[in-house]
């Protein structure tokens, strides 16, 4: 009766372990598909492909491990299960390195994998009940997973989600250290075929399942957040100039407004408008007009500082927020761009034709909002147009304007 009970317990344990292996296989396949789908987005294509391949290799490992009890001499099958599993971990590391823009450590991971393969073959005939054997079996996983975690912690400008990912990987490496203790406590079986019949097999596969799911979800979050950030940046970027479009500029202005207003330091805004742009478009074509806009944006971009916010807010109109700049500094900024642009030759235009731009500058007042400062700069721009164009005008600090106070000869 005791023998029958033990046999029934082993059968139940084997069923549970087999069930978990089946779940792991399905989960690995689903994550492989998810990362393959994410890889269709160019921004994260390289990293997602490596990670999709890692999960595919992991799925193959579960299939091979399922087959171990079928063979009387499973040396090759056991090694194949180990090699595909460890190889999948190595591919994860390459995917992470690719995502964070690091040089792919193929040689380092290759050396670690080769060491793991050689060690696995060397310990195959050691007693499976030996705690030392279990520790040596897990050592390559600890080493490779530690290298994967290292790839994340090498990133200098980590976000919170990246740090969480790094610690998750470090915890994954550490969990392999617990397996020798679990094998000693519950027994790992005397033969490779017995593994599926042990409580240790159930615990080991369950732990592996949790690690696989946690890492997959975390890495998907990292990649998808990158995709969303890239999509947001593209939706707020003018494709012709590379500057913010009106939507992006207004979004940054809303963020910068309260900060600038509370800081107590000066701030200015510059509005720029290309002169006679419509006549250039009508006479020389839209291609020439686009080159004029791109040339102006090139000079504007070259003058920007790290804390400046610049955007193309209309067809030929640009705006720049200059935190820390007085009206005098804003005028100097505008004059530098005006002078450089006025001397630029534009492809498709006659050599004698040099497009110009007009500028309006306004400094932040104590009672200002970003909108009111923008209106005063706009008012100054119209004065620049009235005064003959190709010049810079500064709005007086005591100027009173509203949305309907624009005067002048019109844009262009």
Minimum mean pLDDT range among 5-14, 69-78, 333-342 = 5-14
> Residue 411: pLDDT band by 50, 70, 90 thresholds?
low
Each residue of 155-201: pLDDT tens digit? Answer: 888 888 899 999 999 999 888 988 888 888 888 777 777 776 778 87
Percent of the chain with pLDDT over 90: 42
Comparing 409 with 243, the larger pLDDT belongs to: 243
In the prediction, which pLDDT does 256 show?
67
Cα 191 from chain centroid (whole Å): 45
Helix (H) or strand (E) holding 139: helix 131-153
Residue 362 DSSP SS3: strand
**Closest residue by Cα to residue 18 from 205, 241, 229, 185:** 205
In the prediction, which pLDDT does 368 show?
74
CATH class of 246-394: alpha beta
Mean residue pLDDT of the chain comes to 85
Comparing 310 with 260, the larger pLDDT belongs to: 310
Backbone phi and psi for residue 392, each to the nearest 5 degrees, phi listed first: -120, 135
Reply yes or no on whether the pLDDT at 392 is more than 90. yes
Comparing 104 with 363, the larger pLDDT belongs to: 363
State which of 190-204, 343-357, 365-379 shows the largest mean pLDDT.
343-357
Residue 269 DSSP SS3: strand
CATH of 2-235, one of 1.20.1070, 1.10.10, 3.30.70, 2.40.50: 1.20.1070
Residue 406 DSSP SS3: coil
Each residue of 262-308: pLDDT tens digit? Answer: 656 788 999 999 999 999 988 989 899 999 999 999 999 999 988 89
* Sheet strand arrangement including 317-323: 309-312, 317-323, 267-274, 357-363, 392-394
Each residue of 209-232: pLDDT tens digit? Answer: 888 889 999 999 999 988 888 888
Reply yes or no on whether the pLDDT at 410 is more than 70. no
**Closest residue by Cα to residue 175 from 197, 153, 204:** 204
pTM: 0.70
Across 166-193, b (16+ Cβ under 10 Å) vs e yields bebbbebbebbeebbebbeeebbbeebb
Each residue of 97-145: pLDDT tens digit? Answer: 889 888 878 888 888 899 999 999 999 889 888 889 999 999 999 998 8
State whether the Cα torsion 238-236-383-396 is positive or negative: negative
State which of 147-151, 293-297, 341-345 shows the largest mean pLDDT.
293-297
| Helices (runs of H) and strands (runs of E) counted in the chain | 12, 5
Reply yes or no on whether the pLDDT at 359 is more than 50. yes
As a whole number, mean pLDDT of residues 362-366 equals 85
In the prediction, which pLDDT does 8 show?
44
Domains of the chain by residue range: 2-235, 246-394
How far, CA to CA in Å, does 2 sit from each of 14, 38, 196? 18, 53, 20
Residue found by looking up tokens 């069923």 in the block = 15
Helix (H) or strand (E) holding 164: helix 160-186
Which residues are designated catalytic? 316
**Closest residue by Cα to residue 381 from 334, 348, 346:** 334
Percent of the chain with pLDDT over 70: 89
């Amino acid at each position: 009766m005791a023998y029958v009970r033990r046999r029934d317990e082993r059968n139940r344990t084997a069923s549970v372990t087999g069930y978990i292996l089946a779940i792991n296989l399905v989960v690995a396949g689903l994550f492989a598909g998810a990362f393959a789908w994410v890889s269709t987005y160019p921004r994260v294509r390289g990293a997602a492909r490596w990670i999709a391949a890692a999960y595919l290799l992991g799925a193959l490992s579960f299939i091979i491990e399922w087959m171990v009890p079928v063979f009387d001499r499973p040396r090759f099958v056991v090694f194949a299960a180990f090699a595909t599993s460890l190889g999948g971990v190595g591919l994860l590391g390459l995917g992470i390195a690719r995502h964070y823009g690091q040089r792919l450590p193929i040689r380092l991971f290759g050396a670690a994998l080769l060491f793991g393969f050689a060690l696995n073959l060397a310990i195959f005939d050691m007693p499976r009940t030996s705690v030392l054997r279990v520790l040596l079996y897990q050592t390559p996983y600890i080493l490779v997973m530690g290298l994967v975690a290292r790839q994340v912690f090498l990133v200098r400008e980590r976000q919170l989600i990246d740090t969480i990912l790094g610690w998750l990987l470090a915890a994954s490496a550490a969990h392999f250290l617990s397996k020798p203790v679990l094998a000693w406590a519950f027994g790992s079986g005397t033969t490779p075929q017995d593994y599926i019949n042990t409580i240790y097999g159930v615990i080991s596969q369950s732990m592996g399942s949790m690690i696989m799911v946690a890492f997959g979800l975390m890495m998907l979050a990292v990649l998808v957040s990158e995709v969303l950030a890239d999509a947001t940046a593209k939706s707020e970027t003018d494709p012709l100039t590379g500057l913010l479009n009106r939507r992006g500029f207004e979004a940054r202005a809303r963020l910068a407004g309260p900060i600038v207003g509370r800081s107590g330091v000066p701030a200015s805004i510059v509005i720029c408008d290309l002169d006679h742009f419509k006549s250039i478009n009508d006479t020389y074509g839209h291609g020439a007009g686009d080159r004029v806009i791109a040339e102006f944006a090139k000079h504007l971009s070259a003058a920007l500082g790290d804390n400046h916010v610049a955007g193309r807010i209309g067809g030929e109109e640009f705006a720049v927020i200059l935190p820390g700049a007085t009206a005098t500094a804003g005028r100097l900024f505008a004059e530098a761009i005006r002078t450089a642009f006025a001397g630029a030759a534009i492809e498709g235009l006659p050599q004698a034709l040099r497009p110009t731009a007009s500028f309006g500058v306004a400094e932040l007042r104590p009672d200002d909002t970003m909108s009111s400062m923008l209106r005063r700069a706009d008012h100054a721009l119209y004065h620049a147009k009235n005064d003959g164009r190709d010049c810079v005008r500064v709005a007086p600090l005591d100027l009173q304007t509203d949305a309907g106070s624009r005067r002048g000869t019109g844009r262009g």
